[in-house]
Amino acid sequence: MSMISFARIQAVLLKEFVQMRRDRMTFAMMVGVPIMQLIMFGFAINSDPRHLPTALIDRDHSTFSRSIIAAVENSTFMDIAYRPTTEDEAESLIREGKVNFIFIIPENFGRDLVRGENPQVLMVADATDPSATSGAANSMKEIVRSGLQRDLSGALSAMADRPPAVDVVLHKRYNPAGITQYNIIPGLLAIIIAMTMTMITAVAITREKERGTMENLLAMPIKPIEMMTGKIAPYVIIGYVQTVIVLLASEFVFNIPIVGSLLLLFGAVSIYIIVNLMIGFLFSSLAETQMQALQMTFFLLLPQILLSGFMFPFLGMPRWAQYVGEALPATHFMRLMRGIMLKGADGVDLLSSFWPLGVIMLIVGTLAMIKYNETLD
């Protein structure tokens, strides 16, 4: 009786193998998740980001300003992505999150430099994500100095040796103290909602399938849209509760000021909650079991955390990873949250993040309606 039976161990082992083979979804996850993680951690993530997009305003157009710009681009920290003509345009770009830096070379910069008047250049850094911009910001003085090295030769060589010929003024915008929580907390709301909302509706339909109650529901005269609305509406309220908790903690525990409009914020939250609930509903129509629905949720959550700009600077990722990121609702919601909470961005600034979220909602909603099976076929 106390003997260990290898026949029984073998019986259990064989049964597990057979069942694993039948459950293709789980098997695919076991292989798919490590591959996805290898790709994302191995290639996409970059904690020392380079080539961050920068808006340049050159009001000088002298040899010297061109040399500095060349040095900036050669540094690989920054790419000149936009050349706005006014500061307002530049400000708008940084609020929308399209650039990390604004670099301004003032009028008469070259003339003042030659006169030895120690002119200033202005570097505005989006410090919402301190880790993204600190590298470039800290090296700026050295970049400018090395850029001018060659120009300050001959008659001007004395100036090159007497640093600093140029004064680099650095403005850290939105998070001047470089507090990590400023970046994490608004983004965390995106992750919390993505995780819980998707999960809760993902099991909503599969639970009915597993318990056999789906057959009863399908025999009743209910339309797919009625089913989806009824299934997700209760959780919208839960999503709001989560939002309020995060915002209160943000304000009173982490002392992160909410600069922008609360109304806009709740507008963004509403769309985002519904998008995630619809994704969950779609998953539960595709999956046969609750287990499969949860696996799909998990599978989507990984890139939402890693490629959305939550943990690592979005603009520091390679181009392909940014494209993937653009397709994720968390990416756009995170921009909205950081834009509203930290930058006080207004509706016009945020349009570029609002419309992708709306498009994603339409696509997911349509897919969910198409994939919802009204019969047992």
Partner 1 sequence: MTNVETVIDVKGLTKSFGDKIVVDDFDLKVPKGSVYGFLGPNGSGKTTTIRMVCGLLTPNAGSGTCLGWDVIEQSEKIKTQVGYMTQKFSLWEDLTIRENLEFVARMYEVENRKNRVDEALEELGLSARSHQLAGTLSGGWKQRLALAACMIHDPELLLLDEPTAGVDPKARREFWDTIHELADRGVTILVSTHYMDEAVQCDYIAYIAYGKKLIDAPSGELVDRVGLYTWRVEGTGLSKLTKELEGAEGVEHVARFGTALHISGIDEGALKTAVSRYFDLPNLNWTARKPGLEEVFIHLMTGTEDNFQ
CB of 20 to partner 1, least distance (A): 23
The one-letter amino acid at 1: M
Encoded tokens for 147: 């850029």
CB of 209 to partner 1, least distance (A): 11
CB of 371 to partner 1, least distance (A): 16
CB-nearer residue toward partner 1: 218 or 258: 218
Restricted to residues 179-218, the positions that interact with partner 1 (CB under 8 A) are 211-216, 218
Size of the site for partner 1 (CB under 8 A): 15
CB-nearer residue toward partner 1: 261 or 289: 289
Alpha-carbon distance of 274 to 170, in angstroms, equals 40
CB-nearer residue toward partner 1: 210 or 326: 210
Classified as helix, coil or strand, 19 is: helix
Q: Report which secondary-structure segment, H or E, holds 162.
A: none
CB of 215 to partner 1, least distance (A): 5
Alpha-carbon distance of 79 to 56, in angstroms, equals 10
Member of 222, 245, 253, 370 binding partner 1 (CB under 8 A): 222
CB of 221 to partner 1, least distance (A): 4
CB of 235 to partner 1, least distance (A): 17
- Residue 219 touching partner 1 (CB under 8 A): yes
Per-position b or e across 136-145, b if 16+ CB within 10 A of its CB: bbeebbebbb
CB-nearer residue toward partner 1: 107 or 215: 215
CA 349 to chain centre: 17
CB-nearer residue toward partner 1: 228 or 265: 228
Burial of 248 (0-12, 13-18, 19+ CB in 10 A): exposed
Encoded tokens for 82: 């936009």
Member of 1, 42, 220, 319 binding partner 1 (CB under 8 A): 220
CB of 284 to partner 1, least distance (A): 17
- Residue 376 touching partner 1 (CB under 8 A): yes
* Partners of residue 102 on adjacent β-strands: 55, 124
Cα–Cα–Cα angle for 114, 152, 145, rounded to 5 degrees: 100
Member of 2, 85, 86, 375 binding partner 1 (CB under 8 A): 375
CA 283 to chain centre: 22
Alpha-carbon distance of 119 to 105, in angstroms, equals 9
- Residue 221 touching partner 1 (CB under 8 A): yes
Alpha-carbon distance of 168 to 119, in angstroms, equals 9
Alpha-carbon distance of 369 to 71, in angstroms, equals 54
CB-nearer residue toward partner 1: 4 or 376: 376
Q: Report which secondary-structure segment, H or E, holds 173.
A: strand 167-173
Alpha-carbon distance of 372 to 282, in angstroms, equals 7
CB-nearer residue toward partner 1: 19 or 216: 216
CB of 225 to partner 1, least distance (A): 13
CB-nearer residue toward partner 1: 72 or 200: 200
Restricted to residues 298-357, the positions that interact with partner 1 (CB under 8 A) are none
**Chain positions contacting partner 1, by CB under 8 A:** 211-216, 218-223, 375-377
